[in-house]
Amino acid sequence: MSIQIINIDTPTLGDRGYIAHDGKTALVVDPQRDIDRVEKILTDNNLSLGTVVETHMHNDYVSGGLVLARKYQADYITSAEDTVSFERTAAKDLDEFNVGNFAIKALHTPGHTFTHLSYILLDPTGNAQGIFTGGSLLHGSTGRPDLLGQDHAPTLAGLQHGSAHRMAEMLEDKTPIFPTHGFGSFCAATSTSGDSSTIRDEKRSNPALLLSAERFISETLAGLDVFPAYYKHMGPANHAGPGPIDLSELPRLSSQELLKVIAGNSWVVDLRDKETWAKGHLPGTLSVGVSGSFATYLGWLFPYENELVLISDKAADIAEAQRELVRIGIDRPSASFIGEISSVDKNIDTPLVTFNDVPAALEDSGIVVLDVRRNSEREASHIQGSAHIPLHELSLRMAEVPTDKTIWVHCAGAYRASIAASIIQNTGRTVVLINEPYEKALSVAELTLLSGGIDHGPVAPSDVKATA
Protein backbone atom coordinates (compact mmCIF):
# COMPACT_ATOMS: atom_id res chain seq x y z
CA MET A 1 0.00 0.00 0.00
CA SER A 2 1.24 3.53 -0.76
CA ILE A 3 1.98 5.92 2.08
CA GLN A 4 -1.00 8.07 2.99
CA ILE A 5 -0.72 11.48 4.62
CA ILE A 6 -3.47 13.05 6.73
CA ASN A 7 -3.36 16.73 7.70
CA ILE A 8 -4.31 17.84 11.21
CA ASP A 9 -4.99 21.56 10.96
CA THR A 10 -5.07 24.05 13.81
CA PRO A 11 -6.19 27.18 11.93
CA THR A 12 -6.48 29.40 15.00
CA LEU A 13 -2.70 29.09 15.49
CA GLY A 14 -1.81 28.73 11.81
CA ASP A 15 -0.22 25.30 12.23
CA ARG A 16 -0.55 21.88 10.67
CA GLY A 17 0.49 18.49 12.02
CA TYR A 18 0.54 15.27 10.03
CA ILE A 19 -0.10 11.56 10.20
CA ALA A 20 1.70 9.41 7.62
CA HIS A 21 0.80 5.72 7.48
CA ASP A 22 1.09 2.55 5.41
CA GLY A 23 -2.36 1.27 6.34
CA LYS A 24 -1.14 -0.31 9.55
CA THR A 25 1.50 1.80 11.29
CA ALA A 26 1.43 5.56 11.72
CA LEU A 27 3.99 8.33 12.04
CA VAL A 28 2.81 11.53 13.75
CA VAL A 29 4.62 14.80 13.01
CA ASP A 30 4.46 17.90 15.25
CA PRO A 31 1.21 17.15 17.13
CA GLN A 32 -0.66 19.78 19.08
CA ARG A 33 -1.30 19.22 22.77
CA ASP A 34 -4.92 18.06 22.40
CA ILE A 35 -3.94 14.61 21.19
CA ASP A 36 -7.49 13.27 21.14
CA ARG A 37 -7.72 14.58 17.57
CA VAL A 38 -4.78 12.35 16.63
CA GLU A 39 -6.22 9.40 18.52
CA LYS A 40 -9.53 9.65 16.66
CA ILE A 41 -7.74 9.46 13.32
CA LEU A 42 -5.73 6.46 14.50
CA THR A 43 -8.90 4.70 15.64
CA ASP A 44 -10.94 5.61 12.56
CA ASN A 45 -8.20 4.22 10.29
CA ASN A 46 -7.36 1.21 12.46
CA LEU A 47 -3.75 2.33 12.82
CA SER A 48 -1.13 1.57 15.45
CA LEU A 49 1.19 4.39 16.45
CA GLY A 50 4.82 3.64 15.66
CA THR A 51 6.66 6.94 15.93
CA VAL A 52 6.16 10.59 16.90
CA VAL A 53 8.63 13.22 15.68
CA GLU A 54 9.20 16.89 16.38
CA THR A 55 10.83 19.01 13.73
CA HIS A 56 11.88 21.46 16.46
CA MET A 57 11.09 22.69 19.95
CA HIS A 58 8.10 24.84 19.06
CA ASN A 59 7.77 28.48 20.06
CA ASP A 60 4.09 28.98 19.17
CA TYR A 61 2.44 26.03 20.89
CA VAL A 62 2.96 23.37 23.53
CA SER A 63 3.50 19.98 21.94
CA GLY A 64 1.48 16.86 22.67
CA GLY A 65 4.20 14.63 21.25
CA LEU A 66 5.72 13.38 24.47
CA VAL A 67 2.41 12.45 26.08
CA LEU A 68 1.18 10.81 22.86
CA ALA A 69 4.33 8.72 22.46
CA ARG A 70 4.34 7.59 26.09
CA LYS A 71 0.66 6.68 26.03
CA TYR A 72 1.16 4.36 23.05
CA GLN A 73 4.75 3.29 23.86
CA ALA A 74 5.88 4.73 20.55
CA ASP A 75 9.30 6.11 19.66
CA TYR A 76 9.61 9.83 20.33
CA ILE A 77 12.21 11.52 18.14
CA THR A 78 13.69 14.99 18.60
CA SER A 79 16.98 16.56 17.65
CA ALA A 80 19.98 15.21 19.52
CA GLU A 81 21.12 18.82 19.92
CA ASP A 82 18.04 19.83 21.92
CA THR A 83 18.71 19.85 25.67
CA VAL A 84 15.48 18.30 26.87
CA SER A 85 14.46 17.02 30.30
CA PHE A 86 12.95 13.72 29.19
CA GLU A 87 13.95 10.47 27.53
CA ARG A 88 13.61 10.39 23.76
CA THR A 89 15.24 9.01 20.63
CA ALA A 90 17.89 11.52 19.61
CA ALA A 91 18.15 12.21 15.88
CA LYS A 92 21.15 13.55 14.00
CA ASP A 93 21.63 14.66 10.43
CA LEU A 94 20.96 11.83 7.92
CA ASP A 95 19.84 9.34 10.59
CA GLU A 96 17.14 6.97 9.29
CA PHE A 97 14.28 5.50 11.32
CA ASN A 98 11.92 2.72 10.26
CA VAL A 99 8.19 3.21 10.78
CA GLY A 100 6.18 0.17 9.75
CA ASN A 101 6.93 -0.51 6.07
CA PHE A 102 8.38 2.94 5.42
CA ALA A 103 11.06 5.15 6.91
CA ILE A 104 12.08 8.73 7.60
CA LYS A 105 15.46 10.40 7.22
CA ALA A 106 16.40 13.31 9.46
CA LEU A 107 17.86 16.33 7.73
CA HIS A 108 19.49 19.14 9.72
CA THR A 109 17.83 22.31 8.43
CA PRO A 110 18.77 25.15 10.81
CA GLY A 111 17.24 28.58 10.37
CA HIS A 112 14.03 28.69 12.38
CA THR A 113 16.09 27.29 15.25
CA PHE A 114 19.70 26.13 15.34
CA THR A 115 18.71 22.49 15.97
CA HIS A 116 15.82 22.24 13.49
CA LEU A 117 15.32 18.93 11.68
CA SER A 118 13.23 18.18 8.62
CA TYR A 119 12.25 14.58 7.87
CA ILE A 120 12.29 13.02 4.42
CA LEU A 121 9.51 10.46 4.01
CA LEU A 122 10.86 7.32 2.32
CA ASP A 123 8.80 4.55 0.75
CA PRO A 124 9.83 0.86 1.06
CA THR A 125 12.14 1.25 -1.94
CA GLY A 126 13.90 4.25 -0.39
CA ASN A 127 12.37 6.87 -2.68
CA ALA A 128 11.35 10.21 -1.22
CA GLN A 129 7.58 10.67 -1.06
CA GLY A 130 7.70 14.05 0.66
CA ILE A 131 9.50 16.06 3.30
CA PHE A 132 8.15 17.37 6.60
CA THR A 133 9.77 20.79 6.78
CA GLY A 134 8.40 22.12 10.10
CA GLY A 135 9.49 25.75 10.34
CA SER A 136 12.09 25.58 7.58
CA LEU A 137 10.83 25.67 3.97
CA LEU A 138 7.22 26.88 3.96
CA HIS A 139 4.76 27.53 1.14
CA GLY A 140 6.34 30.58 -0.49
CA SER A 141 8.30 31.59 2.61
CA THR A 142 10.43 30.28 5.46
CA GLY A 143 10.14 30.15 9.23
CA ARG A 144 11.14 33.36 10.97
CA PRO A 145 14.72 33.48 12.29
CA ASP A 146 14.28 35.85 15.25
CA LEU A 147 12.43 33.78 17.84
CA LEU A 148 15.66 33.03 19.70
CA GLY A 149 16.47 36.75 19.90
CA GLN A 150 17.54 39.51 17.57
CA ASP A 151 21.22 38.75 18.14
CA HIS A 152 20.82 35.36 16.46
CA ALA A 153 18.46 36.49 13.68
CA PRO A 154 21.04 37.38 10.97
CA THR A 155 22.92 34.10 11.49
CA LEU A 156 19.73 32.03 11.49
CA ALA A 157 18.43 33.81 8.38
CA GLY A 158 21.63 32.83 6.59
CA LEU A 159 21.28 29.25 7.79
CA GLN A 160 17.65 29.23 6.64
CA HIS A 161 18.76 30.19 3.14
CA GLY A 162 21.30 27.37 3.14
CA SER A 163 18.77 24.84 4.44
CA ALA A 164 16.31 25.70 1.69
CA HIS A 165 18.98 25.20 -0.96
CA ARG A 166 20.10 21.94 0.60
CA MET A 167 16.58 20.52 0.38
CA ALA A 168 16.12 21.77 -3.19
CA GLU A 169 19.37 20.13 -4.24
CA MET A 170 18.75 16.81 -2.46
CA LEU A 171 15.15 16.23 -3.53
CA GLU A 172 13.44 15.82 -6.88
CA ASP A 173 11.28 18.67 -8.12
CA LYS A 174 8.10 16.61 -7.74
CA THR A 175 8.68 16.03 -4.01
CA PRO A 176 5.82 17.48 -1.92
CA ILE A 177 6.70 19.62 1.10
CA PHE A 178 4.67 19.42 4.28
CA PRO A 179 5.40 22.40 6.58
CA THR A 180 4.08 22.79 10.11
CA HIS A 181 3.94 26.59 10.05
CA GLY A 182 2.76 29.04 7.45
CA PHE A 183 -1.03 28.81 7.48
CA GLY A 184 -1.44 32.06 9.37
CA SER A 185 1.20 31.34 12.02
CA PHE A 186 3.34 34.17 13.35
CA CYS A 187 6.23 31.69 13.02
CA ALA A 188 6.38 32.42 9.28
CA ALA A 189 8.90 35.11 8.32
CA THR A 190 6.54 36.50 5.67
CA SER A 191 3.08 35.63 4.41
CA THR A 192 2.68 32.19 2.87
CA SER A 193 0.33 31.12 0.10
CA GLY A 194 -1.41 27.97 -1.00
CA ASP A 195 -2.43 24.77 0.71
CA SER A 196 0.11 22.46 -0.94
CA SER A 197 3.46 22.74 -2.66
CA THR A 198 6.42 20.86 -4.15
CA ILE A 199 10.13 21.53 -4.45
CA ARG A 200 9.44 22.68 -8.03
CA ASP A 201 6.82 25.17 -6.81
CA GLU A 202 9.21 26.59 -4.25
CA LYS A 203 12.01 26.97 -6.80
CA ARG A 204 9.63 29.19 -8.76
CA SER A 205 8.29 31.31 -5.91
CA ASN A 206 10.22 31.06 -2.64
CA PRO A 207 12.53 34.00 -1.87
CA ALA A 208 14.98 31.64 -0.16
CA LEU A 209 15.51 29.86 -3.48
CA LEU A 210 15.33 32.93 -5.73
CA LEU A 211 17.47 35.49 -3.90
CA SER A 212 21.14 35.57 -3.06
CA ALA A 213 21.97 34.80 0.56
CA GLU A 214 22.82 38.44 1.29
CA ARG A 215 19.61 39.78 -0.21
CA PHE A 216 17.51 37.07 1.41
CA ILE A 217 18.96 37.89 4.84
CA SER A 218 18.42 41.63 4.49
CA GLU A 219 14.88 41.34 3.10
CA THR A 220 13.87 38.71 5.64
CA LEU A 221 15.10 40.77 8.59
CA ALA A 222 13.50 43.94 7.21
CA GLY A 223 10.14 42.20 6.80
CA LEU A 224 9.85 40.68 10.28
CA ASP A 225 6.85 41.76 12.32
CA VAL A 226 6.15 41.41 16.04
CA PHE A 227 5.13 38.03 17.42
CA PRO A 228 2.84 37.15 20.34
CA ALA A 229 4.21 37.66 23.84
CA TYR A 230 3.11 34.18 24.94
CA TYR A 231 5.82 32.64 22.73
CA LYS A 232 8.28 33.16 25.59
CA HIS A 233 6.50 30.43 27.56
CA MET A 234 6.37 27.81 24.80
CA GLY A 235 10.03 26.90 24.32
CA PRO A 236 10.72 26.27 28.01
CA ALA A 237 7.54 24.16 28.30
CA ASN A 238 8.51 22.00 25.34
CA HIS A 239 12.08 21.50 26.53
CA ALA A 240 10.82 20.50 29.99
CA GLY A 241 8.37 17.94 28.60
CA PRO A 242 4.68 18.90 28.72
CA GLY A 243 2.33 16.72 30.74
CA PRO A 244 -1.20 15.54 29.93
CA ILE A 245 -4.11 17.95 29.74
CA ASP A 246 -7.41 18.14 31.59
CA LEU A 247 -10.36 19.38 29.54
CA SER A 248 -13.00 18.46 32.10
CA GLU A 249 -15.66 21.00 33.05
CA LEU A 250 -14.48 23.98 35.05
CA PRO A 251 -16.02 25.01 38.39
CA ARG A 252 -19.18 27.00 37.69
CA LEU A 253 -19.79 30.45 39.23
CA SER A 254 -23.12 31.94 40.20
CA SER A 255 -24.00 35.48 39.10
CA GLN A 256 -23.06 36.92 42.47
CA GLU A 257 -19.80 34.99 42.57
CA LEU A 258 -19.01 36.28 39.10
CA LEU A 259 -19.47 39.90 40.15
CA LYS A 260 -17.13 39.34 43.11
CA VAL A 261 -14.51 37.82 40.79
CA ILE A 262 -14.77 40.78 38.40
CA ALA A 263 -14.21 43.14 41.33
CA GLY A 264 -11.01 41.24 42.18
CA ASN A 265 -7.78 40.70 40.25
CA SER A 266 -8.84 37.84 37.97
CA TRP A 267 -9.04 38.21 34.20
CA VAL A 268 -12.67 37.59 33.21
CA VAL A 269 -12.95 36.90 29.50
CA ASP A 270 -16.23 37.09 27.59
CA LEU A 271 -16.15 34.46 24.83
CA ARG A 272 -19.27 35.54 22.93
CA ASP A 273 -19.07 37.01 19.44
CA LYS A 274 -18.44 40.75 19.25
CA GLU A 275 -21.96 41.66 18.13
CA THR A 276 -23.54 39.84 21.05
CA TRP A 277 -20.96 41.34 23.41
CA ALA A 278 -21.69 44.85 22.13
CA LYS A 279 -25.41 44.51 22.90
CA GLY A 280 -24.73 43.90 26.57
CA HIS A 281 -21.74 42.92 28.71
CA LEU A 282 -20.31 43.32 32.16
CA PRO A 283 -17.89 46.15 32.89
CA GLY A 284 -14.50 44.85 33.92
CA THR A 285 -14.61 41.91 31.51
CA LEU A 286 -12.55 41.47 28.35
CA SER A 287 -14.12 40.65 24.99
CA VAL A 288 -12.12 37.90 23.24
CA GLY A 289 -14.52 35.90 21.09
CA VAL A 290 -13.69 32.21 20.93
CA SER A 291 -14.74 32.14 17.27
CA GLY A 292 -11.73 34.26 16.20
CA SER A 293 -7.98 33.97 16.77
CA PHE A 294 -8.73 33.42 20.42
CA ALA A 295 -5.59 31.72 21.69
CA THR A 296 -3.27 34.02 19.77
CA TYR A 297 -4.66 37.28 21.10
CA LEU A 298 -5.62 36.20 24.60
CA GLY A 299 -2.20 34.58 24.96
CA TRP A 300 -0.58 37.77 23.67
CA LEU A 301 -2.29 39.92 26.31
CA PHE A 302 -2.82 37.63 29.29
CA PRO A 303 -0.34 37.67 32.21
CA TYR A 304 0.23 33.95 32.78
CA GLU A 305 0.55 34.41 36.54
CA ASN A 306 -3.03 35.73 36.83
CA GLU A 307 -6.20 33.74 37.42
CA LEU A 308 -8.48 33.38 34.39
CA VAL A 309 -12.27 33.05 34.34
CA LEU A 310 -14.22 32.27 31.17
CA ILE A 311 -17.81 33.41 30.63
CA SER A 312 -20.36 32.81 27.87
CA ASP A 313 -23.98 31.99 27.25
CA LYS A 314 -22.96 28.63 25.72
CA ALA A 315 -21.19 25.72 27.40
CA ALA A 316 -19.66 24.83 24.02
CA ASP A 317 -17.77 28.14 24.03
CA ILE A 318 -16.15 27.31 27.36
CA ALA A 319 -15.11 23.86 26.17
CA GLU A 320 -13.66 25.24 22.93
CA ALA A 321 -11.76 27.93 24.81
CA GLN A 322 -10.27 25.35 27.18
CA ARG A 323 -9.01 23.35 24.20
CA GLU A 324 -7.50 26.44 22.60
CA LEU A 325 -5.81 27.49 25.83
CA VAL A 326 -4.06 24.21 26.63
CA ARG A 327 -2.33 24.52 23.27
CA ILE A 328 -0.53 27.60 24.57
CA GLY A 329 0.11 26.32 28.08
CA ILE A 330 -2.86 27.81 29.96
CA ASP A 331 -3.99 24.52 31.43
CA ARG A 332 -6.85 25.18 33.83
CA PRO A 333 -8.76 28.46 34.07
CA SER A 334 -9.96 28.84 37.62
CA ALA A 335 -13.71 28.95 36.88
CA SER A 336 -16.45 29.63 34.37
CA PHE A 337 -19.85 31.26 34.15
CA ILE A 338 -22.46 29.97 31.71
CA GLY A 339 -25.71 31.85 31.30
CA GLU A 340 -27.36 34.93 29.88
CA ILE A 341 -24.97 37.78 30.57
CA SER A 342 -27.85 40.22 30.19
CA SER A 343 -29.46 38.64 33.24
CA VAL A 344 -26.57 39.76 35.42
CA ASP A 345 -26.78 43.24 36.93
CA LYS A 346 -24.62 46.16 35.70
CA ASN A 347 -24.82 45.39 31.97
CA ILE A 348 -23.46 48.03 29.60
CA ASP A 349 -23.39 48.18 25.81
CA THR A 350 -21.02 49.40 23.07
CA PRO A 351 -22.32 51.21 19.96
CA LEU A 352 -21.49 49.69 16.58
CA VAL A 353 -20.78 51.75 13.45
CA THR A 354 -19.39 51.17 9.95
CA PHE A 355 -16.69 52.88 7.90
CA ASN A 356 -19.41 54.92 6.20
CA ASP A 357 -19.75 56.72 9.53
CA VAL A 358 -16.03 57.45 9.86
CA PRO A 359 -15.63 60.53 7.59
CA ALA A 360 -18.03 62.53 9.75
CA ALA A 361 -16.32 61.24 12.90
CA LEU A 362 -12.96 62.49 11.66
CA GLU A 363 -14.46 65.99 11.40
CA ASP A 364 -15.77 65.85 14.97
CA SER A 365 -13.30 67.27 17.52
CA GLY A 366 -14.89 65.11 20.21
CA ILE A 367 -13.99 61.83 18.46
CA VAL A 368 -10.68 60.02 17.98
CA VAL A 369 -10.54 57.22 15.39
CA LEU A 370 -8.04 54.69 16.73
CA ASP A 371 -6.33 52.05 14.58
CA VAL A 372 -5.15 49.06 16.69
CA ARG A 373 -3.49 47.05 13.92
CA ARG A 374 0.19 46.18 13.93
CA ASN A 375 2.76 48.64 12.61
CA SER A 376 3.27 46.73 9.37
CA GLU A 377 -0.44 46.83 8.60
CA ARG A 378 -0.55 50.53 9.38
CA GLU A 379 2.36 51.23 7.05
CA ALA A 380 0.69 49.34 4.21
CA SER A 381 -2.48 51.46 4.40
CA HIS A 382 -4.27 53.62 6.94
CA ILE A 383 -6.91 56.31 7.31
CA GLN A 384 -5.63 59.86 7.20
CA GLY A 385 -6.40 61.56 10.48
CA SER A 386 -6.65 58.37 12.50
CA ALA A 387 -4.46 57.65 15.50
CA HIS A 388 -2.55 54.42 16.05
CA ILE A 389 -1.70 52.19 18.99
CA PRO A 390 -1.22 48.45 18.27
CA LEU A 391 -3.48 46.25 20.36
CA HIS A 392 -0.59 44.54 22.12
CA GLU A 393 0.69 47.94 23.32
CA LEU A 394 -2.67 49.42 24.26
CA SER A 395 -2.81 48.65 27.98
CA LEU A 396 0.68 50.03 28.57
CA ARG A 397 -0.09 53.17 26.56
CA MET A 398 -3.56 53.91 27.88
CA ALA A 399 -2.36 57.27 29.22
CA GLU A 400 -2.13 58.39 25.59
CA VAL A 401 -5.82 57.75 24.98
CA PRO A 402 -7.97 60.85 25.72
CA THR A 403 -10.43 60.62 28.58
CA ASP A 404 -12.61 63.49 27.31
CA LYS A 405 -13.28 62.15 23.81
CA THR A 406 -15.15 59.22 22.29
CA ILE A 407 -12.78 56.59 20.93
CA TRP A 408 -13.83 54.87 17.69
CA VAL A 409 -11.77 51.70 17.27
CA HIS A 410 -10.94 49.68 14.16
CA CYS A 411 -8.55 46.93 13.07
CA ALA A 412 -8.39 44.71 9.98
CA GLY A 413 -11.50 42.65 10.65
CA ALA A 414 -13.06 44.09 13.85
CA TYR A 415 -11.95 41.16 16.04
CA ARG A 416 -8.97 42.92 17.61
CA ALA A 417 -10.95 46.15 17.69
CA SER A 418 -13.56 44.51 19.92
CA ILE A 419 -10.81 43.42 22.32
CA ALA A 420 -9.42 46.96 22.30
CA ALA A 421 -12.88 48.43 22.81
CA SER A 422 -13.37 46.35 25.96
CA ILE A 423 -9.95 47.37 27.30
CA ILE A 424 -10.68 51.05 26.69
CA GLN A 425 -14.22 50.86 28.07
CA ASN A 426 -12.95 49.22 31.26
CA THR A 427 -10.96 52.39 31.98
CA GLY A 428 -14.15 54.47 32.04
CA ARG A 429 -13.64 55.99 28.59
CA THR A 430 -16.41 56.15 26.00
CA VAL A 431 -15.83 53.79 23.08
CA VAL A 432 -17.45 52.88 19.76
CA LEU A 433 -16.62 49.75 17.72
CA ILE A 434 -16.20 50.09 13.95
CA ASN A 435 -17.66 46.69 13.18
CA GLU A 436 -16.46 46.14 9.62
CA PRO A 437 -13.35 44.78 7.89
CA TYR A 438 -10.85 47.49 7.01
CA GLU A 439 -11.23 46.64 3.32
CA LYS A 440 -14.68 48.22 3.48
CA ALA A 441 -12.93 51.55 4.02
CA LEU A 442 -11.61 51.31 0.47
CA SER A 443 -15.08 51.90 -0.94
CA VAL A 444 -15.88 54.95 1.19
CA ALA A 445 -15.22 57.88 -1.16
CA GLU A 446 -14.90 60.44 1.65
CA LEU A 447 -12.05 58.56 3.33
CA THR A 448 -8.44 59.28 2.42
CA LEU A 449 -6.20 56.22 2.77
CA LEU A 450 -2.44 56.59 2.96
CA SER A 451 0.36 54.09 2.48
CA GLY A 452 4.13 54.00 2.67
CA GLY A 453 4.38 55.82 5.96
CA ILE A 454 2.55 56.95 9.04
CA ASP A 455 0.31 60.01 9.08
CA HIS A 456 -0.34 61.54 12.47
CA GLY A 457 -3.44 63.33 11.20
CA PRO A 458 -5.08 66.17 13.08
CA VAL A 459 -4.89 64.41 16.46
CA ALA A 460 -2.27 66.09 18.61
CA PRO A 461 0.42 63.86 20.18
CA SER A 462 -0.92 64.90 23.57
CA ASP A 463 -4.21 63.19 22.64
CA VAL A 464 -2.98 59.98 21.02
CA LYS A 465 0.56 59.42 19.82
CA ALA A 466 0.76 57.66 16.48
CA THR A 467 3.53 55.10 16.12
CA ALA A 468 5.55 54.06 13.12
The predicted-structure confidence for 93-118, as pLDDT tens digits, reads as follows: 999 999 999 999 999 999 999 999 99
Distance CA 154, CA 217 (A): 6
The overall average pLDDT reported for the chain is: 94
At residue 385 the predicted structure's pLDDT band, cuts being 50, 70 and 90, is: very high
Closest CA to 145 of 111, 192, 170, 168: 111
What does the pLDDT read at residue 184?
86
Distance CA 223, CA 264 (A): 41
Task: Output the CA–CA distances (angstroms, integers) from residue 428 to 348, 392, 396, 401, in the order listed.
Answer: 12, 20, 16, 11
Q: At what angle do helices 315-326 and 294-301 cross, to 10 degrees?
A: 70
Which pTM was predicted?
Answer: 0.92
* Average pLDDT for 14-34: 97
Distance CA 30, CA 7 (A): 11
Tens-place pLDDT, residues 341-355: 988 878 999 999 999
Tens-place pLDDT, residues 387-415: 999 999 999 999 999 999 999 999 999 99
Q: In this model, does residue 459 exceed pLDDT 60?
A: no
Q: In this model, does residue 468 exceed pLDDT 60?
A: no
Q: In this model, does residue 458 exceed pLDDT 70?
A: no
What does the pLDDT read at residue 463?
31
Task: Walk me through the domains of the chain, giving residue ranges and CATH numbers.
Answer: 4-240 (3.60.15.10), 255-343 (3.40.250.10), 352-450 (3.40.250.10)
Task: Output the CA–CA distances (angstroms, integers) from residue 45 to 18, 87, 338, in the order listed.
Answer: 14, 29, 36
Distance CA 255, CA 345 (A): 9
Tens-place pLDDT, residues 74-94: 999 999 999 999 999 999 999
What 8-state DSSP symbol labels residue 188? B
What does the pLDDT read at residue 15?
95
Q: In this model, does residue 264 exceed pLDDT 70?
A: yes
Residues 6+ apart with CB under 8 A from 195: 139
Distance CA 230, CA 60 (A): 8
Task: Output the CA–CA distances (angstroms, integers) from residue 468 to 333, 368, 388, in the order listed.
Answer: 36, 18, 9
What does the pLDDT read at residue 292?
84
Residue 120 has phi, psi (to 5 degrees) of: -80, 130
What does the pLDDT read at residue 452?
67
Distance CA 253, CA 315 (A): 13
Longest C-alpha distance within the chain, in Å? 73
